[in-house]
Amino acid sequence: MNQTIMSNVLNIFKKLIFAHILFLGIMSLYRAVFFFYYSPLDSFQGFYLDILKAFFLGFRVDLTVIGYIQTLPTIILIVLYYIKKESLLNYFSKFLVYYLFFCYVAVSLLLCADFGFYSYFKEHINILFFGLLDDDTKALMVTFWQNYNVVLILAIFFAYLAFLFFSIKKIFSISNKNYNSFFTLKISALIFLILFVLNFLAVRGTLGMYPLGKMIPNVSSDEFINKVSHNGFRAFTNALSARKKYLARKYDLLKATGYKGNIEKAFEVYTGTENINREDLLKNITFKTKKVDDKEYNVVVIMVESFGMPILKYQSDDFNILGELKKHFDEDILLTNMISAGDGTISSLQALLLNIPHRPTSFAFSQSIYKQTSFSYGPAFLFKENNYETSFIYGGDLTWRSLREFVKHQGYDNLEGKINIFKHLENIDKPKADYFHPWGIFDEYLYSHILKKLENSDKKQFIVALSTNNHPPYNVPKEYKSKSLEFNDAIKNHITGDFELAQQRFKSYAYAVDQVGIFLDKFKRSKFKDNTIVVVTADNNTIDGIMKYDDNQLLNSKNIPLYFYLPESLKNKIDVDTKVTGSHKDIFPTIYNLTLKEQEYLSIGKNLFDSSLEHYGFNGSMIVTNKDKIEKLNSIEEQTNSKLLNYYKANLAITQHLINYYYKKGKE
């Protein structure tokens, strides 16, 4: 062993360890801030040991990140020892200051991104993160600027960077000591083998079968405590891996669900019988409508941005969150046990448009190989066959997520975005900018556009509309007068995070749903009230990001409303269970049966008004509801004895089979 060179190498290893200990402390501090900021727990009683376990497990997960950062220095130091040039070791020691600083900053940025992502989705970074990066960049920047004290945040962050850099530099300026051995060992090959093994174990995080970063075990019965162990870096790398596999077309849902090469079994599970049509499998998900009258109806379906259901339980004169919509919810049909198909707008929208569940960890159709695939079984095609004019209206820009490129292949005669809506406005009496917010045009103009479309029509109308208003940075029109939103203790005690930001979110929420109510007021005074069906739902419950619940966390986190306005003569002919469970896949099958006579249709979803059927709600976070049951898979590959979860997996397999069929059909 060359004693001088080995002593220098061991000194560098020592300094690396000191720097890593510093950053592990910072990561643990971040975890504590995350825990106390987002914790929905009213009391830690009974959870102290679980919390301790979560922090210790989190420290081990953080250590895997340090292991990755340390891998390059470990390998290079071993190589430099055998080169035996002291000058190279000195240069490398100086380089490590900048290397560690760069790595620590990159991890810090991901921790911050994870913190922000959790505030919106109540999940650590997942594949949706890359969808956010594809959103309107300018709108995202405006959102950040308006919702947060950017100057203060940047000042704190740059102060942190300065502290981090000078701390690392200080550590690497520590005087070297003369080391004759490594814990009495003097054989260089053995020393480096031990260091390499320790580095490998740090990366792996465990001696078990699965590396810790890939499989983080639960330590508690409380879902939030389990999430505390995760960190943003590992969440990002897992999401990045899923994205790469998907973009490389390695996303194999049939294999993941266990039905690859055995898709017939999935149809058996779906139908509940072995007596299925094996010659044409899609016939097993093909149905015929049972219309209860001979009248023809316009159809208007509105998806309201982030219109979560749980906050509505606080509705009162003082906290008038529903505004003008309340009376319509009271007068008409409101289904209260629905869950969203996805946790983001695009995932729920495509589930609605295609009558399918959202496929976990998948990318938006509009940003995938299915971008130009015509799913000709979809609702717009069916209504066109029945002499409807079909329109898709979005209150934002149709370039968002390449939405126009996908929707134009789905049977819509008209595709209209915020600019089309603005151009059709009458009596423009204020600056153009006052009609818009960063993500689109204010909702009131979207709804006035829908009414004009009905008024100017000379044939039956089928309209699907997506609003934009209840979205960060939570703007409302200058002239809008908000209704009373007094936050009593019951509401305050269920809000997590920044209270001022929560107030902005609720004000925007109230505006968005109030405008739906105003639209329905005008609609019910029109001639169309007797020949039009209006359906209102939401894309997701992102208000969940700042709420905690007393019970049924899984259901509340995904719970959205589903409202039906039916002409009185039609409403009197049907019997509705307002507690029925379902999700976006079920909306159009229900509408088909109200509007189309003896029409064959293909759908994973089912008619919500048919009490003879079993009804299920599916959310892409692998949550399933059925009546009073709600269950969750940890992963698609998970083996389970649950009939409910296995039914869900069979539905996902059939969904992928359906998608593959139409994709291949489009290529012929």
DSSP string spanning 88-121?
A: HHHHHHHHHHHHHHHHHHHHHHHHHHHHHHHHHH
pLDDT band for 134, please (50, 70, 90 cuts).
low
* 639-649: average pLDDT: 97
What is the DSSP code (8-state) at residue 409?
T
Q: Enumerate the domain spans of the chain.
A: 3-246, 287-641
The Cα 641–Cα 630 span in angstroms is 15
Q: Reduce the DSSP state of residue 633 to 3 states and report it.
A: coil
Determine what percent of the chain is predicted with pLDDT higher than 90.
60
* 174-193: average pLDDT: 78
The Cα 189–Cα 197 span in angstroms is 12
Q: In the predicted model, is pLDDT for residue 133 greater than 80?
A: no
For residue 66, give both structure tokens.
Answer: 């340090």
410 and 377 Cβ atoms separated by less than 8 Å = no
Q: How far is CA 247 from CA 111, 369, 390, 419, 441, in A?
A: 25, 9, 32, 32, 33
* 584-609: average pLDDT: 98
Strand partners, 132: none
Q: In the predicted model, is pLDDT for residue 181 greater than 80?
A: no
Determine what percent of the chain is predicted with pLDDT higher than 70.
94
pLDDT band for 652, please (50, 70, 90 cuts).
very high
* 30-57: average pLDDT: 88
Which amino acid appears at position 289 of this protein? T
Fold of 287-641: Alkaline Phosphatase, subunit A (3.40.720)
* 336-343: average pLDDT: 96
pLDDT band for 240, please (50, 70, 90 cuts).
confident
Q: How far is CA 204 from CA 64, 67, 210, 426, 571, in A?
A: 6, 8, 8, 64, 60
pTM of the model: 0.78
The Cα 382–Cα 75 span in angstroms is 63
DSSP string spanning 498-536?
A: -HHHHHHHHHHHHHHHHHHHHHHHHHHTSGGGGTEEEEE
The Cα 592–Cα 290 span in angstroms is 9
Highest mean pLDDT among 34-48, 113-127, 202-216, 410-424: 410-424
- Which pLDDT score is estimated for 498? 79
410-448: buried (b, 16+ CB within 10 Å) or exposed (e) per residue? bbbeebbbbeebeeeeeeeeeeeeebbbbbbbbbbbbbb
Who wins on pLDDT, 150 or 269? 269
Ranges 29-38, 189-198, 571-580, 630-639: which has the least confidence: 189-198
- Which pLDDT score is estimated for 349? 97
Residues 6+ positions from 312 with CB-CB distance below 8 Å: 321, 322, 561
Work out the mean pLDDT of the chain and round it to a whole number.
Answer: 89
- Which pLDDT score is estimated for 138? 62
* 659-667: average pLDDT: 89
Dihedral (C-alpha) 84, 87, 88, 89: value to the nearest 10 degrees?
80
- Which pLDDT score is estimated for 127? 64
- Which pLDDT score is estimated for 661? 95
For residue 17, give both structure tokens.
Answer: 């360890």
* 626-651: average pLDDT: 95
- Which pLDDT score is estimated for 2? 66
- Which pLDDT score is estimated for 92? 87
pLDDT band for 362, please (50, 70, 90 cuts).
confident
**Nearest of 235, 248, 250 to residue 129 by alpha carbon:** 235
Ranges 34-43, 386-395, 533-542, 595-604: which has the least confidence: 34-43
Ranges 296-300, 399-403, 442-446: which has the least confidence: 399-403
pLDDT band for 6, please (50, 70, 90 cuts).
confident
- Which pLDDT score is estimated for 39? 85
pLDDT band for 615, please (50, 70, 90 cuts).
very high
Residue in the block written with tokens 């701390």: 167
pLDDT, one tens digit per residue, over 276-333 is: 999 999 999 999 999 999 999 999 999 999 999 999 999 999 999 999 999 999 999 9
Which amino acid appears at position 110 of this protein? L
The Cα 49–Cα 408 span in angstroms is 55
* 520-525: average pLDDT: 98
- Which pLDDT score is estimated for 446? 97
Who wins on pLDDT, 80 or 526? 526
DSSP string spanning 173-210?
A: TSPP---S-BTTB--HHHHHHHHHHHHHHHHH--SSSS
**Nearest of 456, 441, 514 to residue 483 by alpha carbon:** 514
- Which pLDDT score is estimated for 666? 82
**Nearest of 605, 603, 539 to residue 400 by alpha carbon:** 539
Residue in the block written with tokens 């169309």: 528
Q: In the predicted model, is pLDDT for residue 397 greater than 70?
A: yes
Residue in the block written with tokens 């810790």: 212
- Which pLDDT score is estimated for 249? 60
Q: In the predicted model, is pLDDT for residue 122 greater than 70?
A: yes
pLDDT, one tens digit per residue, over 142-174 is: 666 666 677 888 898 899 999 999 999 999 989
